[in-house]
Structure 1
Amino acid sequence: MRFFRNRILAWKFGKYYSTMAVLLGLLMVTGCTSKETAKLKFSFHLNKKEEFIASNQIAIWLQNSEGNYVETFFVCDYLSYGGYTIPDVCPNWVSKSDWQKQSGEVVDAVSQATPDVGEVVLEFDFPGDELAPGKYKYCIEVHVAENYNELYAGDIEIEESGEPGISEVAVTYQPGKYEKGSGLLSNVKVQFEK
């Protein structure tokens, strides 16, 4: 009888610990934490140009209200892994980010394939406390061809309250509009959500 009772107790405790292990595993897998997450969402239409083949190299980054570089969210693979050394390709981003000094982990984390022509939606999740509340400037730089680039920029408010913020965008053509065509992006929208 004693053997049987010990087996039952072992089974009950074993079942208890197994259940706890499963619950803890689920919490870790689902990322159940008390931290809120925030999201920056960039959406635009990447236009096809019939007159020429556009480079379409893109970099997206954030600056603080003083114009200092904060973080790169997206950069095309080619640009990230060596294209940044070409002086005329996304020079604003190269200058601000000091990309050649970034670690391999940072480069790998933000580098992706060049988006296809059409609708593009890029969402970036991060811990809600990673960016201090305040006004930021976002920049989307697109290399057109030769030494021509387009810089789409605007201000976005990061609200502690989590109120969604939507931004208006302005475009600057550098060194001017490309004679064979410009306006690689249209319907540019940037939104912050918490």
Structure 2
Amino acid sequence: MPDKSIRLVMPIVVISGVAVAATGAELLYGQPVTPPAAAVPARSAAPSRPAADSLGLVRVDYRLTRLPQHASNQLAVWIEDADGRYVRTLFATSYTANGGYVRRPMSLPRWRESAGWESATEAEIQSASRPAQDGGDHSLYWDGTDRNGHPVPEGTYVYRVEGNLLWENRVLFTGSITLGEAADSSSARVEYLPEAARAEGTMIADVRASFSPGEPLDPALVTTFTRGS
């Protein structure tokens, strides 16, 4: 296995306080949500241009609270199909995505197993790996393509959000969303691993998703972070 313990995240260009990706290669992105009255989005995560024949746009929303402790605040958001087969990673904190799991094996194990992340390509790592997010409301967008950039077929897909609360203590949100001709929305259910992990704090909350058929990604919203690790 190639050594992924030290990797460089792609360069960024900061324009008016927003870090814009220096390449258009990424295919997924995330962007924090501002309150309804605000018109300008806050900074957030990565990727991409929509495939012309993709089914539409899925938006995954969640609220993040950064925990004031070590060995925590690792986060991954990814998509699986209805049979549990991995489709794509929307976001993964750079420490784990770039090989931190070698030193901290308990970091985001469900995501790493689903994605087979130890064998991920450099392009996939760069498209998903992002520095830790600030606390607040965030949105990630999926353009309906798989890890190779190919549009997925109509059907029901599973979105998952995994977070490390403290060492091996984790939280996992799971929800489903149907891609087709009609709009769809759902809320995710929460599971603490182990159940006693609830006592370590609330890192992630209000996880939900919506699907807009035929809606493309807006390249103007392709941004990445300016801080963190």
TM surpasses 0.5: yes
* Amino acid across the alignment from 1:122: L
* Displacement after TM superposition at 1:181 (Å): 2.8
2:116 aligned with 1:98: yes
Question: Aligned partners of 1:103, 1:48: CA distance in 2, in Å?
Answer: 29
Question: Aligned partners of 1:152, 1:87: CA distance in 2, in Å?
Answer: 20
Aligned length: 160
Structure 2 unaligned regions, length at least 5: 1-48, 214-229
Question: Aligned partners of 1:57, 1:49: CA distance in 2, in Å?
Answer: 10
2:169 aligned with 1:148: yes
Question: Aligned partners of 1:43, 1:75: CA distance in 2, in Å?
Answer: 15
Change (3 A) 1:185 1:69: same
Give the percent of matched residue pairs that are identical in Structure 1 and Structure 2. Answer: 24
Question: Aligned partners of 1:68, 1:37: CA distance in 2, in Å?
Answer: 19
What pairs with 1:8-157 in structure 2 (closer than 5 Å)?
Answer: 35=53, 38-49=56-67, 52=69, 55-85=72-102, 86-126=104-144, 130-157=151-178
Question: Aligned partners of 1:76, 1:186: CA distance in 2, in Å?
Answer: 17
User: What is the match of residue 3 of structure 1?
Assistant: none
* Displacement after TM superposition at 1:182 (Å): 3.0
Question: Aligned partners of 1:120, 1:178: CA distance in 2, in Å?
Answer: 23
User: What is the match of residue 175 of structure 1?
Assistant: 194
* Displacement after TM superposition at 1:67 (Å): 1.3
State the TM-score, normalized to the length of structure 1.
0.73
Change (3 A) 1:154 1:34: closer
State the TM-score, normalized to the length of structure 2.
0.63
Question: Aligned partners of 2:71, 2:178: CA distance in 1, in Å?
Answer: 32
Which of the two has higher C-alpha Rg?
1
CA RMSD of aligned residues (A): 2.4
Structure 1 unaligned regions, length at least 5: 1-30
Change (3 A) 1:43 1:184: same
Change (3 A) 1:105 1:34: closer
More helix by share: 1
Question: Aligned partners of 2:155, 2:133: CA distance in 1, in Å?
Answer: 30
Contact 2:192 2:198 (8 Å CA) reproduced: no
Contact 1:84 1:99 (8 Å CA) reproduced: no
* Amino acid across the alignment from 2:130: Q
